[in-house]
A and B are shown apart, each in its own frame.
Chain A
Amino acid sequence: MNHDSYPEIKPGKKTLKRIYIAVMLLIVGRAIQAACRTDSTVKKEFQNFKDGFAFSLGVHPFGPWMIVGRDEKGRAKYLGWKPEGKKISLKMNIKNVEAAMLVFTFMESTSVAFARNRFVVDGDLIDALAIVRVLDLVEVYLLPKLIAGLAVKRYPKWSELSPVKKHLGRIVIYTRALLGF
């Protein structure tokens, strides 16, 4: 057998997909920060985290990531995309780029991806589930109902989130996310 016929292969990169995921993570990260100042449920979830809590959400093993923390007032704060040098209490990594694409193209909801074992969670599972709830709510604000219905476990009823509150919240969250405050 001629070994040269059977090459060693160093796998390449899926650069375009990683750029897309990085942009989505940036939008979602800043939207979480904005939603925490706009929506009482998101605010409450963050107030329940311990002081100094920070979580990262990204793709194993090379990223991209987003890091969101809890500030001293109990509000969410987007801390950028570099986990290096940050004290992160909860690391949520999607196992590969393709699984991340399923989540960020809304072909698979975060909770379904969780159930399908596509995440590696390093930290408290209760905190991770709270983050999944936050992500669901943020997606409801960010996306039209048709797409958000695919992305979240259960789309909120009118009694839980009225259309007026949702649309006003959407405008505020998009504005805050774009301006970064």
Chain B
Amino acid sequence: MQSPAYYEYLGRPKMISGKRALEQIPAELEGYGASRPLVMVEGATPGVGAAITKAMYDSNLVIGALFDGHVAGSTSGIVRELAGLHAARKCDSIVVAGGGPLVDAAKCVNIELTQKKAAIQFSGENKIPKELGPFVLVPVALVSGYEASRYAFIDGKMCGSDFLSPDMVIIDSRASSKAAPAQTLSSGLIALAHAIEAILSPQANPIMGSYAYAAIRLLSENLPAAVRKPKDGKKSVAVANGCAIAATAFSNAPAGVVHCLAEALSDATGVDPGVYMGILVRSLVRKRMEDKAGLGDELCLALSGPAVYSVSEAKRRPEAALQSLNSVFGELGNAVPADLAATGTPEGQLGPAAKNAVKASSAKLSEKECMDLLERAWGGK
């Protein structure tokens, strides 16, 4: 292995996962000098708020406020109200359990309180000048793929900053097993696509490869079972780990063609972006094999697993990797349509989606490349 000529890698957050992980929150927050967290949980997910409250027993912490409402979207209005609650109760940290807009809103509350300005003013890249307050994420389902990353959304605009990565991700089956099967599927597919694109990214580096490898293995081996049995604590913890690790890799890699196209299609049709990413990432892997761009040894190993990889001839490894990926989708059955046409997406949406993906991408994507992938995915190739 050669070290790249130059690379950067942000290794946040700290991960704590497994038995009694929630109970580590008080000691960890104490390490940051925090003792009054604002706890935010999704009201529609029963039991998580109670589990977190109980995890704080026999500690020096006082929960400043337990917000258990529903956050439909991360808007300036809800962020301002939550920041008001945080300030009124003299909170000094945030613990958020959930995914999607709730986590975006929590990150933006942290921006407003630390920077003393409206969070929307920090939309863009690297505009937050200093460290934010202690922030703990407890994943239920990481439905957007951004929750454990260095990104947050407010009013539909993205803020990107290293300081937005959570300080800690606490993965505990008491929270992760509360996700609905559809949420688990969506978050797993998004994470799988992010991890595969991270390995294939021109910015890939040894650390990113390690993270992506771990995420792909965790998801390949556990996602189908977790979707079938969402209450299975071990499987849900494994998937949550895969999602959080993939998000860290995603924080360090530019959004790839699959991510950008899936988001553009989802914005246009309302279909879950995870479903699109699942379909598109398979087409991307096939395309790379046919183009002879290659999958690279790292991706072949990650997709096949060490047992298959080590007994495959070098030239047959990409094929074995594709077979392994297909078998994961095979286990998922009808939950993921075989092609874009089966999602009910109008064919006329492909062109605009390709244009929007090119606009949204920070990587150098071409419209031709996007259309090519969309057409393949449309026919399930």
Contacts and interface: CB of A to CB of B under 8 A. Distances in A.
B85 interface: yes
Given A6-B67, A8-B63, A97-B58, 15 more contacts: A6-B68, A9-B63, A11-B53, A11-B54, A11-B63, A13-B57, A14-B57, A14-B58, A60-B27, A61-B59, A95-B24, A96-B58, A97-B23, A102-B20, A116-B18
Interface of A: 1, 3, 5-14, 18, 59-62, 95-99, 102, 108, 116, 120
A92 to B, nearest CB: 14
Interface string B1-41: 00000000000000000111001101100000000000000
A18 B57 CA distance: 11
A160 to B, nearest CB: 30
Contacts of B335: none
B267 to A, nearest CB: 29
22 contacts: A1-B81, A1-B85, A3-B65, A3-B84, A5-B69, A6-B69, A7-B65, A7-B66, A8-B62, A8-B64, A8-B65, A9-B63, A10-B63, A59-B58, A60-B27, A61-B58, A61-B60, A95-B23, A96-B23, A98-B55, A99-B23, A116-B18
A62 B58 CA distance: 7
Interface in B103-159: none
Contacts of A97: 23, 57-58
Contacts of A3: 65, 84-85, 88-89
Contact of B57 (A6, A12, A95, A99): A12
Given A1-B81, A14-B58, A96 B26 contact: yes
Contacts of A13: 57-58
Contacts of B61: 11
B56 interface: yes
Nearest to B31: A120
Interface residues of B, number: 30
Contacts of A116: 18
B274 to A, nearest CB: 31
B89 A8 contact: yes
A6 B85 contact: yes
A28 to B, nearest CB: 20
Given A11-B58, A14-B57, A14-B58, A98 B65 contact: no
B315 to A, nearest CB: 42
Contacts of B89: 3, 8
Interface of B: 18-20, 23-24, 26-27, 53-69, 81-82, 84-85, 88-89
B352 to A, nearest CB: 38
A76 B319 CA distance: 65
Contacts of B65: 3, 6-8
B88 A9 contact: no
Contacts of B53: 9, 11
Contacts of A96: 20, 23-24, 26-27, 58-59
Given A8-B89, A11-B59, A120-B27, A98 B66 contact: no
Given A3-B85, A102-B19, A11 B62 contact: yes
Contacts of B68: 6
A150 to B, nearest CB: 14
A76 to B, nearest CB: 28
Contacts of A98: 20, 23, 55
Nearest to A5: B69
Contacts of B54: 11
A9 B19 contact: no
Contacts of A99: 20, 23-24
A9 B62 contact: yes
A60 B182 CA distance: 40
In the A-B complex, the 8 residue pairs with the closest CB atoms: A9-B63, A11-B56, A1-B81, A95-B27, A98-B23, A98-B20, A96-B23, A6-B65
Given A13-B57, A95-B24, A97-B57, A1 B62 contact: no
A10 B82 CA distance: 20
Nearest to B67: A6
Contacts of A6: 65-69, 85
Contacts of B67: 6
Contacts of A95: 23-24, 27
A126 to B, nearest CB: 24
A73 B67 CA distance: 58
Contacts of A59: 58
A9 B66 contact: yes
A93 to B, nearest CB: 9
Contacts of A108: 19
A101 to B, nearest CB: 8
A8 B55 CA distance: 15
A14 B53 CA distance: 12
